[in-house]
Every structure is written in C-alpha cells, then in structure tokens.
Amino acid sequence: MSETKSLSIYAYVNGRYLEKDKASVSIYDHGFLYGDGVYEAIRAYDGIVFKLQEHIDRLCESAKSVKIELSVTKDELTGIVIEVLKKNQLKNGYVRIVLSRGAGKMGVDPRNCPEPTLVVMAEPREPLFGKEVKGIAAMLSSLRRTPSWALDPRIKTLNYLNNVLAKIEAIEAGVEEAIMLNEQGYVAETSTENIFVVKRGVIATPHTSLGILKGITRDVVIGIAKELGYPLEERELTVHELYNADEVFVTGTAAEIVPIVKISGRIIGDGKVGPVFSRIIARFRELTHSPTEGVAIG
Ligand code: PXG
C-alpha cells in the first residue's frame, strides 16, 4: 500500500493517461447501461506482469465472442498495461482492463456505439482473503452458474450479477465464498475463483465444458500439479465429492490460491491447510516471480 501513498493514480482512457479523479467514462457508455463489455484482471509481482499475454489473449477472445473490436493491437495493449504500471510506480499491483461497447444513444443496438471504450487501471491490491494463507469457509450457493446457452461463462463479460448475487449470499451467511453449481448440478466455480479437490493424492477440477471461466490461475495450477507428479482429472465433480475431499482449494487472480476448510457446515478433511495445497502454493510463489512467466515492467 505504501508504494502509491503520495502519488496520483493514473488510468488509461481511450488513448489518454489521466489522473484518477479526471478519468471517467460517459453515462451513455453501454458498459454502464447494459453491462455490454468484457474485462480482465491481472497481477504484477515484483516487476513482472504475471501471464500478461494469456490475459490479453483471453480478453481478445471475450471481445470477439461479444463482437467488440479492440481499437489497439495486442502489442499496443501490452505496452499500455506496462505504461500504466510505470506511471503509478507499481511493481506489485493489480491491473484491470475494461473494454466496453462504448458510448452511444440508449438502446441495446450496438450500432448506437461508434467507438468502444478502453480503460486500463492499476492499483495496489492485497490478496482477496488476506496476505496470510489460511483456510476460508464457503457455502453452496442457491444460484446456479449462468448456463453456456444463456451467456458462456468462458466470456469474461461485465455481466457479473450472477457472481455478485452468489457473493451476497455468502456474506449474508457469514462465510467468505459461495460455490455455484452448474445447470446439471455439478460443481462449477465460486464468485471469482475456480475450484479444485484432492482425494487420496488425485487432484480434480471441473472441465471447462461444465460452465466455468477458463481461469489463468487454474491453468497454472494444472501445470504445477502435473509438474509435481499428481494425477489430475478435469471432469464432472459432485457435491458429495466436494464434502468428502481431503482438500479443497480455489484459484483466481484476486484470491491467488486459497484452501477452503469448511463448506456449508461440513469440515473438509481435517479442517486444516493441506499438504497438496502447500506444495502447490510454494511452486506458485516461484512462478509468479519468474521472468519467463510474464512480461517485465522494465
Ligand atoms: N471464475 C470466475 C467467474 C472469475 O471471475 C476466475 C474464475 C479465476 O480466473 P483467473 O484467470 O483470474 O485465474 C475468475 C476471475 C474482480 C476480479 O475483482 C475477478 C476475477 C479475478 C480478479 C479480480 O472482478 N475473476
């Protein structure tokens, strides 16, 4: 937090770097009016923007799916992310890229919006559930994850009400996170994390066809699990398996990797941070600081 105490915060808005107080978008922006847009959330660790290319690739895929054209190239966007971090003198921080349909007269017709809006902002941000690794409590949400036929969860859109409502449920219940099932009743993901279970040394996580975001942290953890020699299954996961797992943990850019030690009143395993999680987080810490795993701020 101390990094930016006496500094202005700068954001990129459609070609200009503006101070936070002056950075704004129109009330006619369709991102605001209709949730019509896509976004990415990225972390930088000690001067390396972790998996930046992967995040930009995912943003482009989301944008293509919802038919918004990015006004800059991937290389230019990489440069903008780096520049925003530099301007804010952040070596560790959280970056958000927002791409919306743009400002235009009211009405869902996208032809109302001649230019998309592109915003890149960055600030310091601690891991979602705290700096210190400890297990969190979660609950099964009464909400089902938006089915792929309604809005594919692989698109990281600005429509997060499904996730927000699940989070509200968790807060109301006095737990940290809500686990959503998919339409078929299989485990999907939490409000902003993918989910993994461990049983007798085998790691399992929902397959991307089961109505989840293809998380970049998820992909990293799958790589680590394989590297460490754990069998890894991407498949349908039942609630019964979740309750009876030896370990459960979630992965995401905001949370990083966090164990879940209680789900809807059931203690998971022995209720403590597990050994498989501990080995994975140790390797994750190495990778987040490795120049080969991201783009250096320079
Ligand atoms: N599922 C959902 C629904 C998400 O929104 C993840 C899984 C994990 O994906 P990554 O690629 O981050 O491993 C997400 C990520 C925020 C915020 O504050 C949201 C996410 C990540 C960071 C910040 O909106 N969602």
pLDDT of 176-229, one tens digit each?
Answer: 999 999 999 999 999 999 999 999 999 999 999 999 999 999 999 999 999 999
pLDDT given at position 8? 74
Which atom of ligand 1 is least distant from the CA of 96?
23
* Cα 147 to ligand 1 centroid, rounded to whole Å: 17
Tell me which of 86, 105, 134, 156 is the catalytic residue: 156
pLDDT given at position 65? 98
pLDDT given at position 9? 85
- Residue with tokens 């976004």, as numbered in its chain: 39
Spatial strand order in the sheet of 294-296: 16-19, 10-13, 117-123, 93-100, 37-45, 48-50, 294-296
pLDDT given at position 2? 46
What is the CB < 6 Å shell around ligand 1?
A: 41, 163, 189, 192-194, 213, 215-218, 251-254
pLDDT tens-place values along the chain, 298 residues long: 444 455 678 999 999 999 989 999 999 999 999 999 999 999 999 999 999 999 999 999 999 999 999 999 999 999 999 999 999 999 999 999 999 999 999 999 999 999 999 999 999 999 999 999 899 999 999 999 999 999 999 999 999 999 999 999 999 999 999 999 999 999 999 999 999 999 999 999 999 999 999 999 999 999 999 999 999 999 999 999 999 999 999 999 999 999 999 999 999 999 999 999 999 999 999 999 999 999 999 8
* Cα 214 to ligand 1 centroid, rounded to whole Å: 10
Q: Which tokens go with 98? A: 């927002």
Could you tell me the pTM of the whole model?
0.96
* Cα 128 to ligand 1 centroid, rounded to whole Å: 11
pLDDT given at position 7? 66
pLDDT given at position 4? 46
CA dihedral 283, 286, 290, 295 (to 10 degrees): 80
Measured distance CA(199)–CA(239) in Å, rounded: 14
Does 156 qualify as catalytic in the annotation? yes
Q: Probe ligand 1: pick from 38, 253, 284, max atoms within 8 Å of CB? A: 253
pLDDT given at position 5? 52
Residue whose CA is closest, atom 6 of ligand 1? 193
Query: What is the DSSP secondary-structure string of 71-100?
Result: SS-HHHHHHHHHHHHHHTT-SSEEEEEEEE
